[in-house]
Amino acid sequence: MARSDVLEPGTLPPGTGELRARVREFLAATPFTPRCDCWLTGADPAFSRRLGERGWLGMTLPERYGGHGRSPLERFAVIEELLAAGAPVGAHWIADRQIGPSLLNHGTEEQKHRFLPAIARGECFFAIGMSEPDSGSDLASVRTRAERDGDGWRLHGTKVWTSGAHLAHAILVLARSAPKDTDRHAGLSQFIVPLPAEGVAIRPILGLSGEHHFNEVVFDGAFVPDDLVLGRPGDGWRQVTAELAYERSGPERLLSTFLLVRLLHARADGPAARRALGALTARLWSLRQASLAVAGALAAGETPDVPAALVKDLGTRFESEVIEVVREHAGVEPDPASADPLARALAEAVVQAPGFTLRGGTNEILRGIVARGLGVR
Amino acid sequence: MEPLEETANTILAEDDPWPALEESGLALAGVPEEAGGSGGDLADAAVLLRAAGRHAAAVPLAETGWLAGRLLAESGLTVPSGPLTAASGDVRAVRDGDGWILDGTLRRVPWARSAHRLAVLTTTPAGGLVALVDPSRLQVEEGANVAGEPRDDVVLAGVRAEAAAPCPVDAAELRRRGALARAVQLTGAMRGALDLAVRYAGEREQFGRPIGRFQAVQQALAELAGEVTVADVAVRAAVRAPDDPVAVAAAKANASRAAGRVAAIAHQVHGAIGVTGEHVLGRVTARLWAWRDEYGNEAEWADTLGALAASASDPWALITGS
């Protein structure tokens, strides 16, 4: 096999330890309720603004756009601290993780100045409109269409599973702007729609727990002026797939249930529980090295699509494994209303778990990417 | 490919690589030149171990340089030529004039019967001691691991050490070094299993097409590649931090855990051809099954990590190392 399949370990830049310590101090001094899967379920706009004040949003964006010119690996350290603590990072998550880099790469100067500083302050949250009722894994089949109208476009169609659309200040929509021809990846474009907007209806899709994180977003002729098209019309597929690189293999693909490990640690008093804790530690330590290695490769300008896909496959399955292991040793039943934080966290985790291996590309799709990388597909 | 890796893969793919390893000095990679080694660091030595694992080479490479060679060099002793091995165990060392007399038994010593010298790590009231003995003059009870590699019991009955010196390394550290060596070898063997499975899936045809065209097989191969890649990068990170007890324990536990899954998938992809005695896959997977249990399997290292975690105020700090 080719040498390029080997991942070299990633190294955090000097000074990261100090940065990490400051995040830990902040977390210790800031009241919040830790949650499992906090980057989806823990939306707290005030908390997001506090992170913005400290310079921990838009970290990698240039200073001229309100960012902080830090390396992606410094951001890695900050977000893994927030996730490991179960902090409420859901409100800004999508804007900080992928919209910022995407706007920086494809946006106009005007778009960058309009959105990036607000994203870095924690005052502009984004949703991302990709999945549709009939388009999940087969994303290129989206049917939301953009029709030319004067100096802009009108959107028609329905997006689903849109996380945080009800809190977002804008949504980035993938739509078909030219009829499908032989190249099904051609003719797709990305549109920025500030919210709320005329012709956009946002309705809750309640999750298994009955909580409201997802939405259905219906576009009924909403108008998007030309200056809010992201990148070049027709380039949507290339832009979206590049965006997915930021979405895969980050610490959020390993740590969605780490809160359970922390809570088990606090009561792991027998040898069996300690062994379980040690086994989870070994696996997480190793997966984190892989995640860090992919982050290092991304920061070095490489495109580690295949390693990113396989880290997400193994990482998200680990997130579910944590639940099963902790259940064995918890000595409590999952209970969403319990005063016991472990019983409550278990209840949160079990209902979120099915999503771990679905979102951002199902694990079957990811393994297909890996198989292609191996040359068997 | 880096030149060292290329050289290592060329030599270790040979039927009997040991003479070339000795002639080139690579048998003692990672051992300082002033002690008789060929220099280089642990990462260089790991390149060789990985290649040995990948080609399922039956050589005492980890034992000669990584374990015995470094131990002797750190104790100020000259590293003898020839294959070496190292062990610690229930052995008592008693002063006799200016030398030492050793009594006791060492269990499952790797390659004892074919080692030119055995480095015995023991303790005296004055501290750690490493003593060199010639195993051909000792009582050796032959044993083996699943891969047929010698794992012999050695009885030391009043044997006089050829050379001895105070040693800064204790038995726990020797075990940790052994675990890291086996972890590196495991990742090499896992990559060997992956290479074989991918190649076979592309060649073997059923229902009129290569079996690698079937999604079920593709998904299995992807899982195999995932385990190999994660284990490999974790072990590489541990090789960069060999004194970090968390890193070594985690990397070995994960590699040992992955080894079973990797062997199972590689065999499933190969079908019945892979379980015949002459097929190369079996040489690789037998080593996976052997090495995952040597110097501590995943459960033993999980216990170590669990104890470290339990005594830490925050398990997360253990993961990040700060």
Predicted confidence (pLDDT) at residue A2 exceeds the cutoff of 70 = no
The reply to whether A3 touches chain B by the CB within 8 Å rule is: yes
The reply to whether A375 touches chain B by the CB within 8 Å rule is: yes
Query: A8 to chain B: which residues are within 8 Å by CB?
Result: 233, 236
Each residue's pLDDT tens digit, A220-231: 999 999 999 999
The answer to whether residue A132 is catalytic is no
- Please give the share of chain A, as a percent, with pLDDT higher than 70: 98
Mean pLDDT of chain A: 95
Q: C-alpha A356: how far from its chain's center? A: 11
Task: Give the pLDDT confidence score for residue A3 in this predicted structure.
Answer: 43
Task: Give the pLDDT confidence score for residue A242 in this predicted structure.
Answer: 80
Q: What is the dihedral of CA B238, B244, B245, B246, to 10 degrees?
A: -70
Query: A283 to chain B: which residues are within 8 Å by CB?
Result: 253-254, 257
Provide CB contacts within 8 A for B222, sequence distance 6+.
A310, A313, A366, A367, A368, A370, A371, A374
CA distance A140 to chain B (A): 20
CA distance B228 to chain A (A): 10
B10 and B157 in a single domain? The answer is yes
Each residue's pLDDT tens digit, A150-205: 999 999 999 999 999 999 999 999 999 999 888 999 999 999 999 999 999 999 99
B147 and B268 in a single domain? The answer is no
What are the Cα distances from residue B168, in Å, to A255, B162, B248?
39, 19, 19
B159 and B297 in a single domain? The answer is no
Chain B's closest residue to A6, CA to CA, is: B229
B7 and B149 in a single domain? The answer is yes
Provide the domain limits for residue B112: 3-166
Confidence of residue A268 (pLDDT cuts 50, 70, 90): confident
Whether the link from the prior residue into A196 is cis, omega within 30° of 0, is: yes
CB atoms A374 and B316 under 8 Å: no
Residue A337 exposed, middle or buried by CB count within 10 Å (0-12, 13-18, 19+) = exposed
Compare A6 and B215 and report the one with higher pLDDT.
B215
Write out the two tokens for B164: 């001895």
Task: Give the pLDDT confidence score for residue A241 in this predicted structure.
Answer: 86
Confidence of residue A1 (pLDDT cuts 50, 70, 90): very low
What are the Cα distances from residue B217, in Å, to A220, B96, B265?
44, 64, 9
Task: Give the pLDDT confidence score for residue B271 in this predicted structure.
Answer: 97
What are the Cα distances from residue B14, in Å, to B20, B191, B193?
9, 18, 18
B161 and B13 in a single domain? The answer is yes
Task: Give the pLDDT confidence score for residue A247 in this predicted structure.
Answer: 79
B162 and B175 in a single domain? The answer is no
- Domain edge (last residue) among B133, B151, B166: B166
Question: How many CB pairs lie under 8 A apart between chains A and B?
Answer: 179
Considering its fold, how many domains does chain B have in total?
Answer: 2
- Domain edge (last residue) among B107, B139, B166: B166
pLDDT < 70 stretches in chain B: 1
Predicted confidence (pLDDT) at residue A246 exceeds the cutoff of 90 = no
B148 and B292 in a single domain? The answer is no
Confidence of residue A303 (pLDDT cuts 50, 70, 90): confident
Confidence of residue A4 (pLDDT cuts 50, 70, 90): low
Interface test with B, best of A20, A263, A277 (most B CBs within 10 A): A277
CB B20 within 8 A of CB B35: no
Confidence of residue A23 (pLDDT cuts 50, 70, 90): very high
Task: Give the pLDDT confidence score for residue B199 in this predicted structure.
Answer: 98
Cα(B161)–Cα(B224) distance, integer angstroms: 47
Chain A's closest residue to B318, CA to CA, is: A281
- Which structural domains are found in chain A, ordered by start? 3-124 (1.10.540.10), 128-235 (2.40.110.10), 248-374 (1.20.140.10)
CA distance B321 to chain A (A): 10
B210 and B290 in a single domain? The answer is yes
Q: Mutual orientation of helices A341-356 and A258-265 as an angle, nearest 10°?
A: 150
CA distance A147 to chain B (A): 38
CB atoms B219 and A367 under 8 Å: yes
Task: Give the pLDDT confidence score for residue B75 in this predicted structure.
Answer: 97
Cα(A40)–Cα(A164) distance, integer angstroms: 8
CB B150 within 8 A of CB B114: yes
The reply to whether A224 touches chain B by the CB within 8 Å rule is: no
Chain B's closest residue to A3, CA to CA, is: B1
B55 and B159 in a single domain? The answer is yes
Cα–Cα–Cα angle for B264, B269, B273, rounded to 5 degrees: 95
Predicted confidence (pLDDT) at residue A243 exceeds the cutoff of 80 = no
β A126-129/A170-176 pair status: parallel
Provide CB contacts within 8 A for B133, sequence distance 6+.
B102, B117, B118, B120, B156, B159, B161, B162
Task: Give the pLDDT confidence score for residue B40 in this predicted structure.
Answer: 94
Catalytic site residue from A81, A247, A319, A348 = A247
Q: What is the CATH number of the domain that holds B144?
A: 2.40.110.10
CB B246 within 8 A of CB A285: yes
B14 and B158 in a single domain? The answer is yes
Token pair 């900050």 is found at A78
Q: Which residues pair with B106 in a beta bridge?
A: B154
B265 and B176 in a single domain? The answer is yes
Rounded to the nearest 5°, which phi and psi values hold at A346?
Answer: -60, -40
**Residues B109-123, buried b or exposed e (16+ Cβ, 10 A)?**
bbbbbbbbbbbbbbe
Q: What is the CATH number of the domain that holds B193?
A: 1.20.140.10
- Domain edge (last residue) among B166, B197, B225: B166
Write out the two tokens for B127: 């501290």
Task: Give the pLDDT confidence score for residue B1 in this predicted structure.
Answer: 60
CB B153 within 8 A of CB B226: no
B209 and B106 in a single domain? The answer is no
Compare A249 and A189 and report the one with higher pLDDT.
A189
Q: In this complex, which of A3, A289, A367 lies closest to B222 when CB atoms are compared?
A: A367
